[in-house]
């Protein structure tokens, strides 16, 4: 890694939940914001950053669009995962209060996650480009009747006052992030729970996917994630993204992958890493 201080890239502006993930995992690192996922990935490949923190799925809204297409082609390797409990907070300018506030700005997804609170407080939702960006706008506008919905980190960065904490409708809203590295850092076999993430394409054979998955069932391998998506916009070319519990060198996993190889045209392991504690 470049120098003694780790640099980690994320998509969004300072104060975003991706930024929060960076701070939680690497509190002493320098977090670098980028407008797009592609920009964050490119920063790692060019050496501008050492790592990237990328969201892959949310417990309420499912997978993050496009990220599964980007990961296999990124040239990066998964070295860890981190779950962020998405707490939504209402914030405003110093001196503002719930009594004087009339609008609340945030990303449309976040607005949809705290409808009950907004209705109770009679606050008009205003759609912003993103969460931390909305906090940035509120800080610049100087309007005490406008609030933002974002992380407490965003309030700290932009000098805003938190008026209401943890106002989300669902008390288990969580986003899963992957830590990406340009270098392969496969976790060793150990007593800890390990995740192996891989992508594969099945051969053009009847019931190929069913047969390919059979090896994991018969060998007692727990598959915790399996998703499909089209490749190159083709309705006939499908790639699958999977997470399984275990290490590729485990005897049972080896047998499962041997059977998988018989029914697939491509298998690529994206990473072998320790499971984050919230998973258990």
Assigned token pair, 35: 């407008």
**Alpha-carbon distance 244 to 35, whole Å?**
31
Judged by DSSP in three states, 221 sits in: coil
Of 34, 131, 175, 200, which one is the catalytic site residue?
Answer: 175
End-to-end CA distance of the chain: 31
Is 103 marked active-site? Answer: no
What's the maximum distance between 2 C-alpha atoms anywhere in the chain? Answer: 67
Judged by DSSP in three states, 135 sits in: helix
Is 60 marked active-site? Answer: no
DSSP string, 230-259: EETTEEEEEEEEEEEES-TTSHHHHHHHHH
**Alpha-carbon distance 192 to 194, whole Å?**
6
143 touches 93 (CB < 8 A)? yes
**Alpha-carbon distance 260 to 244, whole Å?**
13
Of 10, 34, 177, 216, which one is the catalytic site residue?
Answer: 177
Positions annotated as catalytic residues are 175, 177
């Amino acid at each position: 890694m470049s120098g003694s201080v780790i640099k980690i890239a994320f998509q969004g502006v300072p104060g975003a939940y991706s930024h929060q993930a960076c701070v939680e995992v690497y509190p002493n690192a320098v977090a670098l914001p980028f407008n797009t996922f592609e920009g964050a990935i490119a920063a790692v490949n060019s050496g501008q950053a050492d790592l990237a923190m990328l969201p892959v799925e949310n417990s309420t809204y499912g997978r993050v669009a496009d990220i599964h297409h980007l990961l296999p082609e990124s040239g990066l390797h998964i070295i860890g995962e981190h779950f962020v409990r998405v707490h939504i907070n209402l914030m405003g300018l110093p001196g503002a209060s719930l009594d004087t506030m009339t609008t609340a700005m945030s990303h449309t997804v976040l607005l949809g996650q705290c409808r009950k609170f907004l209705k109770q407080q009679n606050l008009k939702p205003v759609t912003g480009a993103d969460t931390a960006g909305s906090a940035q706008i509120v800080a610049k506008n100087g309007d005490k009747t406008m609030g933002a919905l974002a992380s407490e980190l965003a309030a700290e960065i932009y000098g805003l006052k938190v008026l209401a904490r943890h106002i989300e409708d669902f008390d288990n809203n969580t986003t899963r992030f992957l830590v990406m590295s340009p270098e392969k850092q496969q976790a060793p076999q150990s007593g800890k729970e390990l995740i192996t993430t891989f992508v594969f394409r099945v051969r053009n054979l009847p019931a190929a996917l069913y047969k390919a998955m059979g090896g994991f069932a018969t060998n007692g391998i727990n598959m915790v994630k399996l998703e499909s998506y089209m490749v190159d916009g083709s309705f006939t070319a499908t790639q699958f993204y999977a997470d399984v519990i275990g290490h590729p060198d485990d005897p049972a996993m080896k047998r499962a992958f041997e059977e998988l190889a018989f029914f697939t045209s491509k298998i690529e392991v994206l990473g072998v890493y320790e499971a984050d504690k919230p998973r258990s």
